[in-house]
Structure 1
Amino acid sequence: MAIFIAFAVAAVNIAQPAAAVAAPREPVRITRFLGEQRLPHMMRFQETAVGGLSGIDHDPRTGRWYFISDDRWRYNPARFYTGRLDIDPATGEFGGVRVTGVTTLTRADGTPYPGYGNPEAADPESIRFDRWSGRLLWGDEGDRPDTRNPSIPISHPAVREMDLQGRHTDRLRLPANLRLTDVETGPRRNFGFEGLAVSARAITAVTEGPRYEDGPVPTVDRGSPARLTVWSRQGRLRGQYAYPLDPLPVAPIPPTGHTDTGVSEILPIDGFRYLALERAWIEGVGYRVRLYEIDLRGATNVLDRDDLADGGPYRPVTKRLVHDLDSRTPVENFESLAWGPRLAGGECTLVIGSDDNFDQREETQFLAFGATGCR
């Protein structure tokens, strides 16, 4: 697509020590598959339905894992779970997964978030443990009306902060171009914040797919841009960059069938590189998922650009394929991505998790891999 051809470049506005920028970095590589674990469909834990796990993260100091559910009070209020993934640091064997706790997310007034279709409803899609401050952050995709759902009230996407008890403590400033509307401007429905990353220098969130002004959704013939927003750790907006979504890998069956594709999660590697899960659901085909390494260096800051479809040339982030999950059969709805414990031989562990959508035809699945070039 012409919009992805670079004619002008704006520097990435992420402060880095000169030595860190100049030093060569080893690309992330998957070295081996460590194992797979699953949770039972509609597993019950402390009177809640475990499912819809759309984000995971790990506290390296305690070994505790966090799992956020995107249940919008279909079964229970918005919540996250804690648990353990049993990964042997000596061998890398992935031996089990356990849920040990559940916490309801609460608003500033101490009440749970309202359910689907209500004002201020939450749509949790990602969770991160901030090991530098001990807080939790989570990505709320928000909601808005569209032609198929005209009565849905606007709930803006957000990156929210909370304590370990799930109590709201703050939220990051939302860029004006990501505010939802009741007309065809801004992010589309279900294309708000889907992925979230926290590093020593920045907080980063990515929309699942393109805004109306940034072009149509991907087809088999062309991709489209999502937007990746970067804040300082103090919450100051630092920049926004275009993530070039792939074209659909295959056409739906029938050709007029439904598709849904976008970035489902990001994970920091260093101050300017991330892993990104790019996932598509294609009617008559199923899920297709790829893992990329992306690099913000040299990308154009598009924070002040309202239109990426016809608003002039820019350079998106660069992408490198790390792993194609389409080799697994069947491919699940992979939506979460986290670093696990480092292994005795020096490898990192990378965990990829799926959201079962509370659908008995799908799975809550965790895949663990050994990786190098990770941090």
Structure 2
Amino acid sequence: MQGRRWRTPTGSQGCAPGERGAPSLTGVSTAVVATVAVVVSLLLVPVTGGVSQLAALRGDTPRQPGPGGVTGNVTALGSVEISASPKTREGIYGRVPVGGLSGFDCDFFGDTSGYTSGDTAVTCLAVSDDPGNRGPVRAYPLDPVTGTVGAPVVLTDSAGVPYRPGTVEPESIRLLRTGPGPVSGMVWSAERSATVTVADRSGRARYTLPVPEGTRPAQGLEGLAVVPQEGGGVSVVTATEAAPAGRSHPVVTVHGQDGPTVFEWPGRGISEILDGPQGSLLVLERGYSAGEGNSAVLWRTDWKTDAGGDRLLVRRPVADLGVLFGAGRVGNVEALAWGPRGQDGRRVLYAGTDDNFSAPPEGTQRAVVHSLLLDAPDSRF
């Protein structure tokens, strides 16, 4: 499919993750590394009809469900299949397959200053989970409206050398900026090596952030969020897929200036997280059952402190993608990214599926961008 110029819908405004302006990398060597990471592992909990749930993060036993109300309205806008543009077939990477897009992020401040795909001025970047077996470890410019991807952005180590095959397996990616103008860099997480890398906009690594001890290779960091901090800088939130060695459940590790704080949350499957307003997180939980196929549920989570001083995570269901798009069409959802916000306060959310390099006609999985519209009459988003 030939790409076209992406335009913000009529009546919409640029939006930043979490409604707090674009992430800042001011003083990245201290702001990012000092606040370091909030490392999260959250797993699937059945939807409870809109009732908020209160989960204790210290220890293994969740609290009883707390009071709550219905979630905000969510509308399915449609889906588009991801396809290669002519740019992906040019030069030395012409035979490298497009696939395995396990995470992407979008930025709506850059206008034409983002990564480009053919004639499309896009501001999204999607990362492939190919560990270098089919081509270099790479990301792709992505137009979330047409589904078109452009020429690859090769991810490299701090010396500017492409990663050796099998050393890293990217899972999620977030864009960074230092102010008006082009995107200044990116943060991406890897599952196989369990690393978090801060890179410049060319994909060259600048920093590697610490991760929880005992994180298991190939079952490690699955999701990633970048949370702007007051006064500048960002903190990083990552989601692990499985329990670290020596623990019964996946963990929530908060890496603060005073050292790490480790929490546990029992459950069943998370594939992505995204920063929201007022320090909240949007959590994408995914499952699979024989005969029913894939399931995907969105939760909003907020940090709270109870009367006893225990830190809690309050969560409430936002949307069941299987209901919105159909259980047979939801796919292997692994990516979340914010889209533009309209003047009426409603916000676009993109959810992307990973085809695991098994797209038709050889396979049965598809790479798709689902678009949702989130109503926000009560400022939940």
* Band of TM-score, shorter chain: 0.5 to 0.7
**After superposition, where does 1:350-369 map in structure 2 within 5 Å?**
350-359=349-358, 360-369=363-372
Is 1:226–2:250 an aligned residue pair?
A: yes
> What is the Cα deviation at residue 344 of structure 1?
3.7
Match of 2:187 among 116, 134, 137: 137
Deviations 1:273-314 (A, max 9, x none): 101111123455432211111223239xxxxxxxxxxxxxx8
Map of 2:267 onto structure 1: 245
**After superposition, where does 1:2-81 map in structure 2 within 5 Å?**
3-5=60-62, 29-40=72-83, 45-46=89-90, 47=94, 48-62=96-110, 64-81=123-140
**What is the rounded CA distance, in whole Å, between the counterparts of 1:164 and 1:322 in structure 2?**
33
Native 8 Å contact 2:304 2:312 kept in 1: no
Map of 1:124 onto structure 2: 170
Match of 1:195 among 198, 209, 223: 223
Native 8 Å contact 1:241 1:317 kept in 2: no
Relative to structure 1, the CA distance from residue 30 to residue 73 in structure 2 (aligned partners, 3 Å threshold; closer, same or farther) is farther
**What is the rounded CA distance, in whole Å, between the counterparts of 2:85 and 2:99 in structure 1?**
6
> What is the Cα deviation at residue 51 of structure 1?
0.8
The one of the two structures with greater contact order (alpha-carbon pairs below 8 A, sep at least 6) is 2
Q: How many residues are paired up? A: 282
Native 8 Å contact 1:65 1:83 kept in 2: yes
Q: Which amino acid aligns with 1:105?
A: L
Native 8 Å contact 1:54 1:70 kept in 2: yes
**What is the rounded CA distance, in whole Å, between the counterparts of 1:75 and 1:276 in structure 2?**
30
Match of 1:110 among 160, 169, 189: 160
Which secondary structure state, in structure 2, belongs to the residue aligned with residue 326 of structure 1?
helix
Unpaired runs of at least 5, structure 1: 8-25, 87-95, 143-154, 180-185, 216-224, 247-261, 300-313
**After superposition, where does 1:317-328 map in structure 2 within 5 Å?**
317-327=313-323, 328=326
Q: Which amino acid aligns with 1:329?
A: A
Relative to structure 1, the CA distance from residue 345 to residue 270 in structure 2 (aligned partners, 3 Å threshold; closer, same or farther) is closer
Deviations 1:24-66 (A, max 9, x none): xx99734311111002499954422111111110112125111
> What is the Cα deviation at residue 374 of structure 1?
5.6
**What is the rounded CA distance, in whole Å, between the counterparts of 1:212 and 1:316 in structure 2?**
24
Relative to structure 1, the CA distance from residue 128 to residue 243 in structure 2 (aligned partners, 3 Å threshold; closer, same or farther) is farther
Native 8 Å contact 2:171 2:189 kept in 1: yes
Relative to structure 1, the CA distance from residue 123 to residue 100 in structure 2 (aligned partners, 3 Å threshold; closer, same or farther) is same
Map of 1:167 onto structure 2: 204
Q: CA RMSD in A?
A: 3.0
> What is the Cα deviation at residue 369 of structure 1?
0.8
> What is the Cα deviation at residue 109 of structure 1?
2.0
**What is the rounded CA distance, in whole Å, between the counterparts of 1:172 and 1:297 in structure 2?**
26
Relative to structure 1, the CA distance from residue 297 to residue 4 in structure 2 (aligned partners, 3 Å threshold; closer, same or farther) is same
Relative to structure 1, the CA distance from residue 122 to residue 189 in structure 2 (aligned partners, 3 Å threshold; closer, same or farther) is closer
Task: Give the TM-score normalised by the residue count of structure 1.
Answer: 0.67
Relative to structure 1, the CA distance from residue 210 to residue 27 in structure 2 (aligned partners, 3 Å threshold; closer, same or farther) is farther
Which secondary structure state, in structure 1, belongs to the residue aligned with residue 97 of structure 2?
strand
Which secondary structure state, in structure 1, belongs to the residue aligned with residue 144 of structure 2?
strand
Deviations 1:58-112 (A, max 9, x none): 11212511100001122111100113223xxxxxxxxx22223311100112211
Unpaired runs of at least 5, structure 2: 1-54, 112-122, 230-234
Native 8 Å contact 2:348 2:373 kept in 1: yes
Q: Which amino acid aligns with 2:128?
A: S
Native 8 Å contact 2:76 2:371 kept in 1: yes
